[in-house]
Amino acid sequence: MTATIETPPVATQAAKQCRRPSETRVPGQQRAVVVLLAPFAALCLGVFVVPAAYAIYLSVFSQLHSGLGFGNGRTVFVGLHNFVVVLTDPSFLRSIGVTLAYIVLFIPILVVGSLAFALLLDSGLARARQFAQTALFLPHAVPGIIAAIIWLYLYTPGISPVLALLYDLNIQVDLLGQTLLIPSMVNIALWGGLGYNTVIFYTALQAVPREVMEAAAVDGAGAVRTALRVKVPMVRASVVTVGMFTLVGTLQLFTEPMLLAQSTPLIGNRFTPNMYIFDAAFNRSNYGLASAASVLLLVLCCLLSYAVARYSSRGARA
Amino acid sequence: MSHRFRALGCAVAAATVLAACAGPAPDDPGGGPTVITFWSSLRGTQAVVDAFNATHTDIQVDLDMTPSGAAGTNAKLTNATRAGNAPDVATADYVSLPAFAIDGAFLDLTDRVDDGFRAKLLPQAWDQVTFDGHVYAVPIDIEPQVLFYRRDLFEQHGIAVPRTWAEFEQAARDLKAAAPDTRLSTFFTSSAAHLAGLSMQVGGQWFSTAGGHWSLDFTDPGTMRVAEYWQRLVDEDLVNVAPINSQQWQAGINNGTIATYVNGAWAAAALMRSNPGGAGKWAVAPLPQWDPARPAVGVTGGSVFGITVDSEHPDEAMEFLRWMVTDPEAFEARLSSGTSSMFPAAPDLIGVADEGFDRSYFGGQDIYALFRREAATVPEGWVWGPRMTATNKIIEEGLARVTYGDTVAEALERGQEESLPDMRALGLAVDER
Q: Do B418 and A90 touch (CB under 8 A)?
A: yes
Cα–Cα distance, B345 to B212 (Å, whole number): 28
Number of alpha carbons in the 13 Å side-chain half-sphere of residue A231: 27
Q: Does A264 touch chain B (CB under 8 A)?
A: yes
Cα–Cα distance, B295 to B233 (Å, whole number): 23
Chain B positions touching A167 (Cβ under 8 A) are: none
Torsion, Cα of B376, B378, B381, B383 (10° steps): -130
Mark the ranges of chain B whose per-residue pLDDT is less than 50: 1-29
Q: Does A71 touch chain B (CB under 8 A)?
A: yes
pLDDT confidence of residue A314: 66
Classify each residue of B144-156 as buried b or exposed e, where b means 16 or more C-beta atoms within 10 Å of its C-beta.
bbbbbbbbbbbee
pLDDT confidence of residue A83: 95
Q: Cα distance from A90 to chain B (closest Cα, Å)?
A: 6
Picking from B102, B189, B390, the nearest residue to A65 by CB comes out as B102
- Decide if A126 is inside a domain: yes
Q: Cα distance from A266 to chain B (closest Cα, Å)?
A: 5
Q: Is B134 left (phi over 0), alpha (psi -120 to 50) or beta?
A: beta
Cα–Cα distance, B353 to A256 (Å, whole number): 44
Q: Cα distance from A104 to chain B (closest Cα, Å)?
A: 23
Q: Do A69 and B394 touch (CB under 8 A)?
A: no
pLDDT confidence of residue A125: 66
User: How far is residue B346 CA from its own chain's centroid?
Assistant: 15
Q: Does B56 touch chain A (CB under 8 A)?
A: no
Mutate to test the interface with A, among B96, B248, B308, B393 (most CBs of A within 10 A): B393
β-pair type (A74-77, A61-64): antiparallel
Full domain range(s) for residue A228? 90-316
As for the ipTM of the complex, it is 0.80
Q: Does A178 touch chain B (CB under 8 A)?
A: yes
Question: How many other CB atoms sit within 10 Å of the CB of residue B114?
Answer: 9
- Decide if A70 is inside a domain: no
Cα–Cα distance, B201 to B190 (Å, whole number): 19
Cα–Cα distance, B124 to B318 (Å, whole number): 20
Picking from A69, A81, A288, the nearest residue to B102 by CB comes out as A69
pLDDT confidence of residue B338: 66
What fold characterizes domain B145-299+380-432?
A: D-Maltodextrin-Binding Protein; domain 2 (3.40.190)
* Gap between the terminal Cα atoms of chain B: 50
pLDDT confidence of residue B81: 87
pLDDT confidence of residue B413: 96
| Closest chain B residue to the Cα of A176, Cα to Cα | B400
Q: Does A143 touch chain B (CB under 8 A)?
A: no
Cα–Cα distance, B378 to B373 (Å, whole number): 10
Q: Which of A253, A280, A93 is nearest to A181 (CA)?
A: A253
Mutate to test the interface with A, among B384, B397, B430 (most CBs of A within 10 A): B397
Q: Is B56 left (phi over 0), alpha (psi -120 to 50) or beta?
A: beta
Q: Does B413 touch chain A (CB under 8 A)?
A: no
Query: Using alpha carbons only, what angle is made at residue B288 by residues B287 and B289, rounded to the nearest 5 degrees?
Result: 115
Q: Cα distance from A159 to chain B (closest Cα, Å)?
A: 9
Kindly calculate the radius of gyration of chain A based on its CA atoms and give it in whole angstroms: 24
pLDDT confidence of residue B224: 97
- CATH topology of B34-142+300-362 equal to that of B145-299+380-432? yes
- Decide if A133 is inside a domain: yes
Q: Do A85 and B75 touch (CB under 8 A)?
A: no
Tens-digit pLDDT profile for chain A (318 aa)?
334 444 444 444 444 444 455 556 677 888 999 999 999 999 999 999 999 999 999 999 988 888 888 878 888 999 999 999 999 999 999 999 999 999 999 999 999 999 999 988 887 766 677 788 888 888 888 888 888 889 888 988 878 888 889 988 988 888 888 889 999 999 999 988 898 999 899 999 988 888 888 888 888 888 888 888 888 888 888 888 898 889 988 998 998 898 888 888 889 889 999 999 999 988 888 899 999 999 999 999 999 888 888 877 765 554
Query: What CATH number is attached to the domain comprising A310?
Result: 1.10.3720.10
pLDDT confidence of residue A23: 55
Domain ranges, ordered by start, for chain B: 34-142+300-362, 145-299+380-432
- 3-state SS, one letter per residue, for chain B: CHHHHHHHHHHHHHHHHHHHHHCCCCCCCCCCCEEEEEEECCCCHHHHHHHHHHHCCCEEEEEEECCCCHHHHHHHHHHHHHHCCCCCEEEEEHHHHHHHHHCCCECCCHHHCCHHHHHHCCHHHHHCCEECCEECCEECECCEEEEEEEHHHHHHCCCCCCCEHHHHHHHHHHHHHHCCCCECCEEECCCHHHHHHHHHHCCCCCEECHHHCEEECCCCHHHHHHHHHHHHHHHCCCCEEECCCCHHHHHHHHHCCECEEEEECCHHHHHHHHCHHHCCCEEEEECCECCCCCCCCCECCCEEEEEECCCCCHHHHHHHHHHHHHCHHHHHHHHHCCCCCCCECCHHHHHHHHHHCCHHHHCCCCHHHHHHHHHCCCCCCCECCCCHHHHHHHHHHHHHHHHHCCCHHHHHHHHHHHHHHHHHHCCCCEEEC
Whole-prediction pTM: 0.84
Q: Cα distance from A270 to chain B (closest Cα, Å)?
A: 9
β-pair type (B145-150, B138-139): unpaired
- 3-state SS, one letter per residue, for A30-95: HHHHHHHHHHHHHHHHHHHHHHHHHHHHHHCEEEECCCCCCCCCEEEECCCHHHHHHHHCHHHHHH
CATH (one of 2.60.40.10, 3.40.190.10, 3.90.1300.10, 1.10.10.10) for B34-142+300-362: 3.40.190.10
Q: Cα distance from A163 to chain B (closest Cα, Å)?
A: 15
